[in-house]
A and B are shown apart, each in its own frame.
Chain A
Amino acid sequence: MIKHHPDDNLLIEFSAGTLAFGQSIAVSSHLHFCHHCQQRVERLNHVGASLLTDVESVPVSDDLLDSVMAQLDAPTPKRKPAAPSNQKMPRVIDKILSKQGKAKWEFLTPSLDMARLHTGQQQFEVALHRIKAGGSVAQHDHRGTEITLVLDGSFSDENGIYNEGDFLVRDAGQVHRPLASRDAPCICLSVVAAPVRMTGPFMRLLNPFLSFKPL
């Protein structure tokens, strides 16, 4: 049962296409799990469509139709969503992973691994985090807003338990200490505003979440 959803403003920006691309990946992945939010987005798309029909129209050049007609027979690459390798995962995550090969897990701490995702943008760090069963993550905070989406398993922190599909937003400076459930590892998608680059060997030890740059 999903208890944590993106708020209205995030969904509005997603529907309008103005939400940052990195954050849109997290919203899109949440929709994979959440029928309720899919419907919310449908309604918002409908508002966008109404605005489209309500706009003051601007005539197009006389030859535009001919130009388009002439291109209709050119073969267009068919968009066929690849058969998902793992139906459980949101399709967008599957797509990213299939493009870059398997997830390359990097060791961060004894109970935490991370795999960066290549998403073609620099503004947000997009990564998978895997907490070992029963493992806990050192108390940490973030430079920027962090979105976490539980993809598999569950974890808890001071404020509650989060299960598959739960969508969490933490603002910069909010400190938390996640703990994976005892019986299974927890995999989360994490989207964090890219930090100012920190250097120095101790930064990584102090805070593993500050140490990587988006690809």
Chain B
Amino acid sequence: MMAIKISQAHPLGASPDTRHTRRRSTVTEALQRDDTWSLALNRIAQDRCRKSFAAFFQHFSPLLKGFLMKGSRLNAAQAEELVQEVMIKVWGRAEQFDSTKSSATTWLYTIARNSRIDWLRRQSNAQTEELVADDLYEDESAETPFTQLQHARNEQTVVDALASLPDEQALVLKKVYMESKSHSEVSTELGLPLGTVKSRVRLALKKLQDVVGREACA
């Protein structure tokens, strides 16, 4: 009953006026994440807590740097420049983080992805003053309580499932997400037909999502 109420109030998950306001119903509280990093983000938002920010930084910066350097699109210095940019956005936008809608890592991932898109565009002399990646990705926070619950628990499950993928599937998936390569770039690099790359990526994701789905229903 309660769950239905939420989704009716927010058919698209985010109307402009309530998007960044934390609702205080029991249902939302039950759905709020209470993992370390969600709590840290909440403290950064509410108390401007530098200690929480430092802890968040210490944990995620080396991961971000590794993520950004994968596939050597960026060298160490460039990756750190981007890590700084991302972390400053984390501080500036912490109040927009809503633990009922996404996990801290997914939130961070989208900030890092968008920053990387704009960074790569600046390198290729695109006119980024016209439009930035954030303009393209702002409508996407639509979740039903079901998917929220799903997201809350399964980050580690996905990591475990990744380890169980056949090597050739895991490889293409990582190239797409971590090395920021389009399917056609991966196909050129690995000397595989484009269709093969696409189907490996699809199969890999299907497998991951099956695992995620099973977990959520269990």
Contact B209 A43 (CB under 8 A): yes
Known: A17-B117, A64-B84. A92 touches B205 (CB 8 A): no
In the assembled complex, how far is the CB of residue B132 from the closest CB belonging to chain A, in whole angstroms? 9
Contact A55 B66 (CB under 8 A): yes
Contact A49 B136 (CB under 8 A): no
Contact A120 B147 (CB under 8 A): no
Contact B135 A92 (CB under 8 A): yes
Does any Cβ of B come within 8 Å of A31's Cβ? yes
Q: In the docked arrangement, what's the CA distance between A45 and B109, Å?
A: 7
Q: In the docked arrangement, what's the CA distance between A144 and B92, Å?
A: 41
* Residues of chain A with a CB closer than 8 A to B205's CB: 8, 12, 44, 47
* Residues of chain B with a CB closer than 8 A to A35's CB: 11-13, 142
Q: How large is the interface on B (under 10, 10 to 19, 20 to 34, 35 or more residues)?
A: 35 or more
- Give residues 88-102 of B contacting A (CB, 8 Å): 88-89, 91-93, 102
* Residues of chain B with a CB closer than 8 A to A120's CB: 121, 126-131
Does any Cβ of B come within 8 Å of A1's Cβ? no
- Give residues 168-218 of B contacting A (CB, 8 Å): 173-174, 176-178, 180-183, 185, 198, 201-202, 205, 208-209, 212
Q: How large is the interface on A (under 10, 10 to 19, 20 to 34, 35 or more residues)?
A: 35 or more
Q: In the docked arrangement, what's the CA distance between A45 and B212, Å?
A: 13
Stretch at the interface among A18-26, A107-115, A164-172, A179-187: A18-26
Q: In the docked arrangement, what's the CA distance between A177 and B176, Å?
A: 36
In the assembled complex, how far is the CB of residue B98 from the closest CB belonging to chain A, in whole angstroms? 13
Interface residues of B (CB under 8 A from A): 11-13, 16, 50, 53-54, 57-58, 61-67, 69-70, 76, 79-80, 83-84, 87-89, 91-93, 102-103, 105-106, 108-110, 112-114, 116-117, 121, 126-131, 133-144, 147, 151, 154-155, 158-159, 162, 173-174, 176-178, 180-183, 185, 198, 201-202, 205, 208-209, 212
The 8 closest A-B pairs by CB, nearest first: A120-B130, A120-B127, A57-B62, A50-B158, A49-B109, A38-B142, A49-B106, A17-B113
A-B contact pairs, 13 of them (CB 8 A): A15-B113, A18-B180, A20-B182, A21-B117, A21-B126, A42-B140, A42-B147, A52-B112, A57-B66, A64-B84, A68-B57, A76-B89, A83-B16
